[in-house]
Structure 1
C-alpha cells in the first residue's frame, strides 16, 4: 500500500488543506511555489506547515532549499538540474528531506539516486511513462519512489512507496485507493 503524497498549488486555502488532511492520511505535502517571492512563500509555508505537521505530514518546499530552515518545514523537492540538487543536499542533509523529480530516463534516475536523496518522483513529466519508471525504481533500488497518479488510475499492484496527487484531484482520492 502506497502512502499519499499531496502536491498543493500556490493558491491553496488553509481550509482546503485542513479538510483534506482530516480526511486523508497523507505522509507528505509539497507546496508549489509559483511566482511568490521568498518572503511570501516562506510565510505561507510556515502557516501551512503548522497544519500538516500536526497530522504527521512532512512538508516540502519547491526548489528553494535556502528557505527550509526559515519556514520550519521538513525539506525540499528539487526538480532542477543535478548541480542544484547537489547544492540542496550539501545545504540540508542529513537533517532535512531532499527529494527530486522531473526525471526523464533510467540513467538520470540512477545518477540522482546515487546522491544522498530521500525519494525520486516519477510521472511529473508528460513525455515519460511514470508508472513504469516508478515501479522499476521501487523493484530495483532502496531509495523510495513517488508515482504521480490520478484518482481514476487503477493503482492496484503499484510498487512505488508513495502515490502523489495534485490538488485538483484531492477530492477524488478515497483513503485506501493508493494501494
Structure 2
C-alpha cells in the first residue's frame, strides 16, 4: 500500500511531504479537533498515532476515533507499535521500532494491504537490514528523546546518506520548531516528521501545516529521468 497523494492536486508530489506524529499523551476528542484543523493547512502524507505508554485497549480506543479523521483528511493513519490494533481499527499501517524480528513479522502480517514503517535503528547496517525486509519507509530519528529546536545531527547525516543511495523512502525527524523543516528537507528525505512544532504552534495546527508546506515546496526532488 502506498501513501495517499496530495488531495488538492491528486498527483504525485515531487518534494518532501509532512509526516505528523501525535503527542505521546493526549485527550482524544481534543486532538481529533486539532487534527481536523491541521488538514485545512495543506498536504499531510501521514499521521502516526504515537502512544508509547498506552496499553492495546487504550490505543485502540483512541485509534477508533482518530483513524477516520486522518483518513478523511486524505492521509495515511499509522499505529505505533501494535500491528493488531492497526488491523482492528482499520488503520493504513503500523510503525515498528522494537527489533528487526518484529519488523519482519509486521511485514509478513500486514503487507501488501497495509503500510509498514521501521525505525529505532542506530547503525547504518541496521538501516539496511530493515530495508531488506521490504518496509515501506525507514524512520530516522528517535521518537523517545526530548525534542530540540533543530533536528539531531545524526538524523540529518543519515537522511542525506540514505536519500542518495537507497530506493526505500526515508522519514527525517525535525525539531520542535517549524524552521527545523528547512534542515530536514535539505537532506533529500522523502518525508519530514514533526511533533511539537505542529501541536504547539501559536496560531494553531492549520497555520503550522501551511508553514511547513511552504518550506517543503522550496525543496523539489532532482529529476532522475
Same fold by TM-score greater than 0.5: yes
What stretches of structure 2 of length at least 5 have no aligned partner?
Answer: 1-14, 146-151, 202-207, 220-225
Q: Structure 2 matches for 1:60-139, cutoff 5 A?
A: 60-124=78-142, 129-139=154-164
CA RMSD of aligned residues (A): 1.8
Closer, same or farther: CA 128–63 of 1 in aligned 2, 3 Å: farther
Q: CA deviation at 1:158?
A: 2.9
Tell me what 1:169 maps to: 197
In structure 2, what is the Cα distance between the partners aligned to 1:81 and 1:34?
15
CA distance in 2 between partners of 1:5 and 1:34 (Å): 18
Structure 1 or 2, whichever has the larger Rg, is 2
Matched residue count? 178
Return the offset for 1:35.
Answer: 2.5
Name the structure 2 match of 1:35: 53
- Deviations 1:21-73 (Å, cap 9, x if unpaired)? 22131101000123322122112112111111112100110010111121110
Contact 1:100-1:120 within 8 A present in 2 as well: yes
- Of the three residues 132, 140, 150, the one matched with 2:165 is 140
Q: TM-score, normalised by structure 2?
A: 0.74
- Unmatched runs of 5 consecutive residues or more in structure 1: none
Q: Which residue of 1 aligns with 2:43?
A: 25
Are 1:48 and 2:66 counterparts?
A: yes
Q: Is residue 2:21 matched to residue 1:7?
A: yes
Q: Which has more strand, going by share of residues?
A: 1
For the 8 Å contact 1:121–1:134, the answer to whether it is kept is: no
3-state SS of the aligned residue for 1:76? Answer: strand
Distance 2:80 2:87 in 1: 14
